[in-house]
Chains A and B, each alone.
Chain A
């Protein structure tokens, strides 16, 4: 940053003072923050007040806009409108170095560390005092020793980052921020990658930091952590700030309800289900993610022909990993998958094709990433995954007329607009893209249909259509597994409803009779037995 802009900054900060500066001890105040990513309104008119010397939690589901908001505060993104006050002074945070100057440090969800550098080198990177490195390294070594004593942040300064445990790497991130003199520390989902004992250690560190007068912003979707450590908590949902509460005046059930939202139950016309044979069975399934963290911790369920089994839960509790395992995209780390009485063993990379051959259709959670090739035309996407079928040409050759005819049938049956099979999928709206995937999978007349987040980012009209199609599949005697974070969606569609929390299925309820409070508690990981102890 140039000296001139800094001077401008100071001038402007001299004139604009937060209305609350005189009366309270606010470390941070945000007023009316807005940010879009393309068509997505990631932050809608966000207001936030954070008192100095407190731990302030920000909860919300994945995609609620928490990380975006914090990235704006850290200068990684720039807000389109709104004001930021730090210590009562209005500031325009242009980049990370400016945020650091203002005393704001961030511990990112994905660590910003250089793997083959030492701890010391990572700590001084960007905060070196002179052109030569050695004096900075010596100073950092001393400061780190002091910080280790003050906050129990023990790390070997000469270790390479890649040799440290995840918890150790996180301590380096915190040290980095403190070394730069951070008074306000933002932690983005800090426990997502930690073992329970590492998480306990982190909380101890955070409490010490608070005692020393630092302000901590904790982003998480784990309500247990909010209850355990925060003083205040703000709930975000779909880009908006829903409410800020004092932690001692609330409970997990209330927070869960605020996070998920009490939405109008969509009416779906459906009759009684008539369950038949078991088509899909999952036994003691264990799944680890790419980082080796166990996401699904031994779950059991079965889906019968002619019923819709719904799986609800706050996102990030293992649903995605379970879906990947039972659709053959990821190798399970334990347990069995049984389709129509036959155990499916996935060895190579052809797991997804194998399951498709067994008449298991899959509508993935992320249609653009997993369901479509958006730079291909609609007719190409209409046969994707089934392109080797003799219907679309024998041997090495593709029968383009057959594929286009199939694509036109999809367009007609699912009312895909615009009705043009030569249009690139990227040019269809979200709802129509979803219909393209649904049409492809449902037209195969599968025995088992697995659907993840069927209406994410889909407009109301298309939602109703998609819901009716899913019910029609059930009535045609298909076994349907529906995973959604939209509570009203699973409640209105499912015949049986399972709730997932922290990699476990924590309960089964009757969607017709279960109350929101009951579901909220299950989704927050508070089962009826330990409800009292949680409070």
Chain B
């Protein structure tokens, strides 16, 4: 296998690993731009993955699984919304609670229903989102360079992968080119300005939190019915938190969020790729080091190079109308 083929394989893996990060990161972007911090991305993704896997296993339809995943994740988002918007609770604590709730419930229900140590049954055929090939992908596969890029890297992914990348321009458009986006961003910066302009701040925030739920649900469904074939206990493996790091890294902007997620996706792919590989001088690379790289990178870059990442000004503060 030549260097080019290896590179294509690495990048192909990067694309697949970026998808859940990107969906979760955009999910967080909606919520935090509206002023609601969400460290429960991880939990919502996990619950979504479980819901999708269970319904896909029972019905044999990946699409029904996807809707179930979205539904479960939105229900979790609604809990976060009620706790932090209606009852003005602490958003961090509510997010942590959601993470614990998701981790505990998925394992408990999975074991009770399927008795496979928290796993759901193996998904096959239409119960999974399978990749589909672009036109002429087969014919072009052997053409040098173009074949690798077109047939391997771009073609052959499942629909959710393309949806995730398409969500970036959509998010940009929604946030910066629509009335909804203007009000959403204003709710996260100065909710009083939104209120005095005659717009219901809490309603805006609820809408944002529910969009977060939808995107987390898709991310979860991708994990259990697209990337893998079934739910495994704790399968999100901290992706929700890496997505948060990417969000800060990207300064809450959609396109930089794509780049940040690609970078973190690449580092994960590299981690898998380097597993057991021998490098000159260093020797075998400890896989833990590669796995820790996204976090180390976030700390180093945020502390030293990127400058201050200032989030939405009213983030984390419940909106209270009366003095």
A residues contacting B by CB (< 8 A) are 37, 74, 76-77, 95-98, 100, 106, 108, 112-117, 121-122, 124-128, 130-134, 136, 176
A112 and B198 in contact, given A126-B183, A128-B182, A133-B177 (Cβ under 8 angstroms): no
Interface centre among B189, B193, B199, B321 (most CB of A within 10 A): B193
Alpha-carbon distance A112/B195, docked complex (angstroms): 9
Q: Is B190 a contact partner of A112 (Cβ separation < 8 A)?
A: yes
Chain A to chain B contacts (Cβ below 8 Å), 12 pairs? A37-B323, A113-B193, A114-B189, A114-B190, A115-B190, A117-B182, A126-B183, A126-B198, A131-B179, A131-B180, A133-B179, A136-B179
Q: Is A132 a contact partner of B196 (Cβ separation < 8 A)?
A: no
Smallest CB gap from B181: residue in A: A133
Q: B313 at interface (Cβ–Cβ under 8 A)?
A: yes
Q: What distance in Å separates the Cβ of B320 from its nearest Cβ neighbour in chain A? A: 12
Alpha-carbon distance A136/B321, docked complex (angstroms): 28
Contacts of B199 in A (CB 8 A): 97, 125-126
**What 0/1 readout, one digit per residue, does chain B (249-271) give for beta carbons within 8 Å of chain A?**
00000000000000000000000
Q: B197 at interface (Cβ–Cβ under 8 A)?
A: yes
Alpha-carbon distance A197/B267, docked complex (angstroms): 58
Q: Is A122 a contact partner of B196 (Cβ separation < 8 A)?
A: no
Q: Is A132 a contact partner of B177 (Cβ separation < 8 A)?
A: yes
Q: Is A108 a contact partner of B186 (Cβ separation < 8 A)?
A: no
Contacts of A37 in B (CB 8 A): 323
Q: B194 at interface (Cβ–Cβ under 8 A)?
A: yes
Q: B233 at interface (Cβ–Cβ under 8 A)?
A: no
Interface hits, B162-198 → A, CB 8 Å: 176-183, 185-186, 189-190, 192-198
Interface centre among B183, B196, B197, B323 (most CB of A within 10 A): B196
Contacts of B189 in A (CB 8 A): 114-117
Q: Is A131 a contact partner of B178 (Cβ separation < 8 A)?
A: yes
Q: What distance in Å separates the Cβ of A147 from its nearest Cβ neighbour in chain B? A: 17
Q: Is A133 a contact partner of B182 (Cβ separation < 8 A)?
A: yes
The 9 A-B residue pairs with the shortest CB-CB distance in the complex, in nearest-first order: A97-B198, A126-B197, A128-B179, A112-B193, A112-B196, A114-B189, A114-B190, A126-B199, A96-B198
Alpha-carbon distance A116/B186, docked complex (angstroms): 9
Q: B322 at interface (Cβ–Cβ under 8 A)?
A: yes
Chain B interface residue count, CB cutoff 8 Å, equals 24
The residue from B180, B181, B196 contacting A108, defined by CB atoms under 8 A apart: B196
Alpha-carbon distance A444/B302, docked complex (angstroms): 49
Q: What distance in Å separates the Cβ of B154 from its nearest Cβ neighbour in chain A? A: 31
Q: Is A117 a contact partner of B186 (Cβ separation < 8 A)?
A: yes
Total A-B Cβ pairs within 8 A = 72
Smallest CB gap from A113: residue in B: B193
Smallest CB gap from A74: residue in B: B196
Q: What distance in Å separates the Cβ of B228 from its nearest Cβ neighbour in chain A? A: 38
Smallest CB gap from B195: residue in A: A96
Smallest CB gap from A68: residue in B: B323
Contacts of A117 in B (CB 8 A): 182, 185-186, 189
Alpha-carbon distance A98/B199, docked complex (angstroms): 11
Smallest CB gap from A127: residue in B: B197
Alpha-carbon distance A136/B182, docked complex (angstroms): 12
The residue from A106, A114, A131, A132 contacting B186, defined by CB atoms under 8 A apart: A114
Q: Is B177 a contact partner of A134 (Cβ separation < 8 A)?
A: yes
Q: Is A113 a contact partner of B197 (Cβ separation < 8 A)?
A: no
Alpha-carbon distance A318/B195, docked complex (angstroms): 32
What does DSSP make chain B's interface, helix, strand, loop or mixed?
A: helix
Alpha-carbon distance A176/B178, docked complex (angstroms): 19
Q: Is A77 a contact partner of B198 (Cβ separation < 8 A)?
A: no
Alpha-carbon distance A116/B198, docked complex (angstroms): 20
The residue from A112, A130, A131, A136 contacting B197, defined by CB atoms under 8 A apart: A112
Alpha-carbon distance A224/B183, docked complex (angstroms): 39
Contacts of B198 in A (CB 8 A): 95-98, 100, 126-127
Q: What distance in Å separates the Cβ of B225 from its nearest Cβ neighbour in chain A? A: 33
Contacts of B192 in A (CB 8 A): 112
Q: What distance in Å separates the Cβ of A5 from its nearest Cβ neighbour in chain B? A: 14
Alpha-carbon distance A426/B67, docked complex (angstroms): 51
Q: What distance in Å separates the Cβ of A136 from its nearest Cβ neighbour in chain B? A: 7
Q: What distance in Å separates the Cβ of A113 from its nearest Cβ neighbour in chain B? A: 6
Smallest CB gap from B176: residue in A: A133
Contacts of A115 in B (CB 8 A): 189-190, 313
Smallest CB gap from B189: residue in A: A114
Contacts of A76 in B (CB 8 A): 196, 321
Contacts of A122 in B (CB 8 A): 193
Contacts of B321 in A (CB 8 A): 76
Q: Is B180 a contact partner of A125 (Cβ separation < 8 A)?
A: no
Contacts of B183 in A (CB 8 A): 125-126
Contacts of B176 in A (CB 8 A): 133
The residue from A100, A114, A134 contacting B193, defined by CB atoms under 8 A apart: A114
Contacts of A127 in B (CB 8 A): 197-198
Q: What distance in Å separates the Cβ of B297 from its nearest Cβ neighbour in chain A? A: 27
Q: What distance in Å separates the Cβ of B159 from its nearest Cβ neighbour in chain A? A: 27
Q: Is B186 a contact partner of A77 (Cβ separation < 8 A)?
A: no
Contacts of A130 in B (CB 8 A): 179
Interface centre among A76, A114, A131 (most CB of B within 10 A): A114
Contacts of A131 in B (CB 8 A): 178-180
Q: Is A96 a contact partner of B197 (Cβ separation < 8 A)?
A: yes
Interface centre among B177, B178, B190, B192 (most CB of A within 10 A): B190
Alpha-carbon distance A502/B181, docked complex (angstroms): 44
Known: A126-B197, A134-B177. 20 other contacts (CB 8 A): A74-B196, A96-B195, A100-B198, A106-B196, A112-B197, A114-B189, A115-B313, A116-B189, A117-B182, A117-B185, A124-B182, A125-B182, A125-B194, A125-B197, A125-B199, A128-B179, A132-B178, A132-B179, A133-B176, A133-B181
Alpha-carbon distance A176/B193, docked complex (angstroms): 11
Alpha-carbon distance A115/B186, docked complex (angstroms): 9
Q: What distance in Å separates the Cβ of A184 from its nearest Cβ neighbour in chain B? A: 15
Alpha-carbon distance A96/B198, docked complex (angstroms): 5
Contacts of A128 in B (CB 8 A): 179, 182
Alpha-carbon distance A423/B175, docked complex (angstroms): 51
Alpha-carbon distance A530/B73, docked complex (angstroms): 72
Smallest CB gap from A105: residue in B: B196
Q: What distance in Å separates the Cβ of A416 from its nearest Cβ neighbour in chain B? A: 29
Contacts of A126 in B (CB 8 A): 183, 194, 197-199
Interface centre among A121, A130, A133 (most CB of B within 10 A): A133
A113 and B190 in contact, given A37-B323, A95-B198, A97-B199 (Cβ under 8 angstroms): yes
Smallest CB gap from B188: residue in A: A114
Contacts of A124 in B (CB 8 A): 182
Alpha-carbon distance A76/B193, docked complex (angstroms): 12
Alpha-carbon distance A131/B181, docked complex (angstroms): 9
